[in-house]
Amino acid sequence: MSLSRPSFRAAPAQIRVSASSANLGPGFDALGLALELHDVLAAQVADEKCLEVDIAGEGADDLRRDAKNLVVKSMHAAFDYMGGRPRGIRLSCANSIPHARGLGSSSAAIIGGMVLARALVLGGQDRMPDEKVLQLASEIEGHPDNVAAALYGGATIAWQSEGGARAVKISPHPDLSAVAFIPKGGVSTSKARRLLPESVPHEDAARNAGRAALLVEALEHHPEYLFDATEDLIHQQYRREAMPRSLSLVTKLRSVGFAAFVSGAGPTVLLLRTSGMANGYAEFAGNNFEVVELGIARTGVEVG
């Protein structure tokens, strides 16, 4: 698809993009949930050739400030699709999503960068609708679960078709919330994926498929089924080597009935609950995890 060179807004644009949890137990690379923890990105185009990147908060000491920065890379991909890049970009990132913790920081950067670029282009929504944002973002991220949740908010079911990544949004139960057990150290997604086997037993795959189907209903209408619905047999235990404390915490929490699982590629552990469910989960964290109660981000990435 070839588009004419776009016109850019002179005024700055700002977006807010959510953290997310993927898999949710059995929904490997398919299910995602947006969480009330956000990065805020702002940018303005410049007439002169420049790239200025300011970063505050999470990753301020580690993230690149050049064209290889993931937000910048994603903005460039979006600009290229919409017909061309501006001469210069001034970008600021206020990051609250922990990095390498399984909370969708890379997906937030990708979706945030693309939607921010779109907001800087006159008629950007027409040039690059959400469906195309999802496809381009999935190509950069490698899978669509987190980017779908960051883009659309709520809970999402994502998949790959011949035309690229697709997703549908479902509305989580109004009383649903999450508790994140966030460790101090991180684990890279690539390392966690390398631990997965090439095949799993048919019985385990069949059980997971049933649990994933149940989870959709539990998230939206019947949270009383969340414990059974979040059981996983095909990826978490294989990653124990990379995050033994996280898997031990999952085991302890589930042993007393909490709907707990590894968030994405880990090592954060996420617990889903409603106000009518039991408390007492914080006592399991010890000194290794920060316990953070999070609401569900019901809306997708926000502009302005």
Tell me if 304 is assigned to some domain: no
Single-letter amino acid code for the residue at 237: Q
Same domain flag for 124 and 235:
no
Same domain flag for 255 and 277:
yes
219: containing domain: 177-294
pLDDT tens by residue, the chain, 304 residues: 568 999 999 999 999 999 999 999 999 999 999 999 999 999 999 999 999 999 999 999 999 999 999 999 999 999 999 999 999 999 999 999 999 999 999 999 999 999 999 999 999 999 999 999 999 999 999 999 999 999 999 999 999 999 899 999 999 999 999 999 999 888 888 878 899 999 999 999 999 999 999 999 999 999 999 999 999 999 999 999 999 999 999 999 999 999 999 999 999 999 999 998 888 999 999 899 999 999 999 999 999 8
Tell me if 156 is assigned to some domain: yes
Same domain flag for 130 and 203:
no
Count: domains in the chain: 2
Q: Which CATH number belongs to the domain containing residue 260 in this structure?
A: 3.30.70.890
d(CA 249, CA 269): 8
Same domain flag for 20 and 114:
yes
Closest CA to 237 of 300, 282, 184, 192: 192
Q: Which CATH number belongs to the domain containing residue 153 in this structure?
A: 3.30.230.10
